[in-house]
Chains A and B, each alone.
Chain A
Amino acid sequence: MEIKLLTEHYDKPEYRSLEGYKKHNGYKVLAKALKMEPKAIVEEVKASGLRGRGGAGFPTGVKWGFLPNNGEPRYLLCNADEGEPGTFKDRLMMERAPHQLIEGMIISAFAIGSQKSYIYIRGEYDDSIRIVSQALKEAYAEGLLGKNILGSGFDHDMDVYVGAGAYICGEETGMISSLEGKKGQPKLKPPFPAVKGYLGKPTIVNNVETLAAVIPIVDKGAQAYRQHGTEKSAGTKLFSVSGNVQRPGTYEVALGYPLMDLINNECGGVKPGRKLKAVIPGGSSAPVLTAEECARANMDYESLAQLGSMLGSGAVIVIDDSNCMVDLLGVIMHFYHHESCGQCTPCREGTGWLNKIVHSIVSGHGRLQDIDLIVRVSEHMMGRTICALSDAAALPAISFVKKFREEFEFYVREGRSKVKGAAHVEM
């Protein structure tokens, strides 16, 4: 069952405008927050158990707590560079409720003592850029941004920065490099952005959904937020469901919701006559689950980790029995090879080799030893690079080969797909 803490009014077109947003209690929580002690807001967010909704799942309040008290200006960056294949919930949030994001950001900025924030939106999201920019104008005109917000004495400026097409800019230090006007290459951590981020200053990077979730937490309190979800995965989460389901889309459910309920109840299941084969539960970086594992999977951080996968950005890609797993791994490997920023050798070379090896199988030229080679190359790519992109390519590769080995062996032996027949030759 959907629990619409954030998405309750998303079906109302008026919710996009400041007037419409205010009609549904918009910016009331901001007024409340500005009368609180900033520290009390941070404590409330810590107590709520809110974890980053962009992919890494790091506790938000703890992240905020890493900011040093050294008198330096602090920056807040909203990560709206949604690029993980399968993910499209941030786009929905920006298009349907831009003021919700802005309100969540002002509250968060007040809590962490930041006077400047940026919303980094991927360049392809033309509608989101237009809608959020327009909402910022409205917010400034209403005195919700700028000097002395709502008479509180708190000053805050907010701006949009438009990316230019690079998956790696969704990695927080890659995003900072990009905002600084450089190639979007990630930086070594530590120092973490909270200590040295944008232009070397303390910086908090949070996902769109994370920042919006601060509103109900400040409104009703941490305990009310914790009524939803599990003990370690509190609250609700927006899941982007795509692939072979009857009703793909974005659904907000409590964390811990059974994966099969999400697929069958919210999304209407797979098409008639088709059988569920596999699910990628957290974006293309997440290891794939077999249909049998799906039956045991709950959509929370711990449950999916126990199954050897991850919640990631909440992108659920449903795969039915009409798909060839070798072919799909080829699509995924092409992506990571294309998006590797190239600064770390294991990732630059590894993603290239994985792409080549899988595609030699897909084109009917594979050798049996190539199957183990995929696993061996992948194992050498993990934990050896500046950011997680290398692992993000290696993990799905290993899981596809280990869980669907028979399909890979058939493809190599016969020179064609077990499911689709002919070998693919493109890409």
Chain B
Amino acid sequence: MSGFQLSAEGVEFVKSELKRYETRLSAVIPCLYRVQKENQGWVSPESVSYLSQLMDIPEAHINEVLSFYTMFNREPVGRHHVQVCCNISCAMNGARELTEKICKELDVKEGEVSKDGKVTVTRVECLGSCGTAPMMQINDRYYENLTSDSALKIIRELK
């Protein structure tokens, strides 16, 4: 049996989401978010088995949804998930060079968790912040109109 369990609150959330929509399947995405939140930012195979039993929805279906959407992490990530948009308007404003600088500052490769478990840096596609390029998202928050100085300052202040 898996080691992962949702908190009592999390279980209540799952139960209420299952009733919230016209079809129970619609609860899968919100419940995967909940699992990710309670599992240090990623969805493990064990947590999928657990959720499948709790929701009474086949594991295969949950995995299908999990693997389709980019906001679900199927591997561990750092406490701070730094996502730098490198789509067109950001790329034109130096986002790719910025990503390299951030990785160098943190001594981490793109997509990998830093040794201390603190950060993961990834390049992502358009985050709808093109008028304030370049920009990055750290966990839920947007940081816009970045320069390499301002971005590195934000990165250094991450705890």
Contact = CB atoms under 8 A, between A and B. Distances in A.
A289 to B, nearest CB: 15
Interface in B107-138: 123, 125-133, 137
Contacts of A86: 88-89, 126, 130
A182 B64 contact: yes
B96 A339 contact: no
B5 to A, nearest CB: 22
Contacts of A323: 92
Interface of A: 82-88, 90-91, 116, 122-127, 159, 161-167, 178-184, 198-199, 240-244, 248-250, 280, 284, 315, 317, 319, 323, 327-328, 331-332, 335, 338-339, 341, 426-427
B65 A241 contact: no
B147 interface: no
Contacts of A284: 87-88, 126
B125 A339 contact: yes
B89 A124 contact: no
A144 B126 CA distance: 34
Interface of B: 20-30, 32-33, 61, 64-65, 68-72, 86-89, 91-93, 96, 123, 125-133, 137, 140-142
B62 to A, nearest CB: 10
Contacts of A242: 89, 130-131, 133
Given A248-B131, A339-B125, A85 B87 contact: yes
Nearest to B70: A165
Contacts of B68: 166, 183-184, 341
Contact of A85 (B25, B30, B93, B125): B125
A164 B32 contact: yes
Nearest to A127: B142
Of B26, B28, B65, B96, the most chain A CB neighbours within 10 A belong to B26
Nearest to A123: B71
B26 A335 contact: no
A343 to B, nearest CB: 11
A149 to B, nearest CB: 21
A180 B130 contact: no
B102 to A, nearest CB: 14
B131 A88 contact: yes
Given A164-B33, A182-B65, A85 B142 contact: no
Contact of A181 (B25, B92, B126): B25
A83 B89 contact: no
A331 B87 contact: yes
Nearest to B99: A426
Q: Most A CB atoms within 10 A — which of B26, B92, B96? A: B92
Shortest beta-carbon contacts, A-B, top 10: A181-B25, A164-B69, A165-B71, A242-B130, A165-B70, A242-B89, A248-B131, A85-B126, A183-B68, A181-B26
A124 B27 contact: no
A124 B72 contact: no
Question: Which of B21, B89, B93, B140 has the largest number of chain A CB atoms within 10 A?
Answer: B89
A164 B29 contact: yes
A183 B127 CA distance: 20
Given A178-B29, A248-B89, 14 more contacts: A85-B130, A86-B88, A86-B130, A126-B141, A127-B142, A162-B30, A163-B69, A166-B69, A181-B29, A199-B22, A248-B130, A249-B131, A317-B130, A338-B125
14 contacts: A82-B128, A86-B88, A87-B128, A123-B71, A124-B71, A161-B26, A161-B29, A199-B22, A319-B92, A328-B88, A331-B88, A331-B91, A335-B125, A427-B123
Contacts of A244: 92
B126 A335 contact: yes
Contacts of A243: 88-89, 92-93, 130
A125 B86 CA distance: 17
Indicate the member of A83, A88, A90, A241 with the most B CB atoms within 10 Å: A88
B59 to A, nearest CB: 14
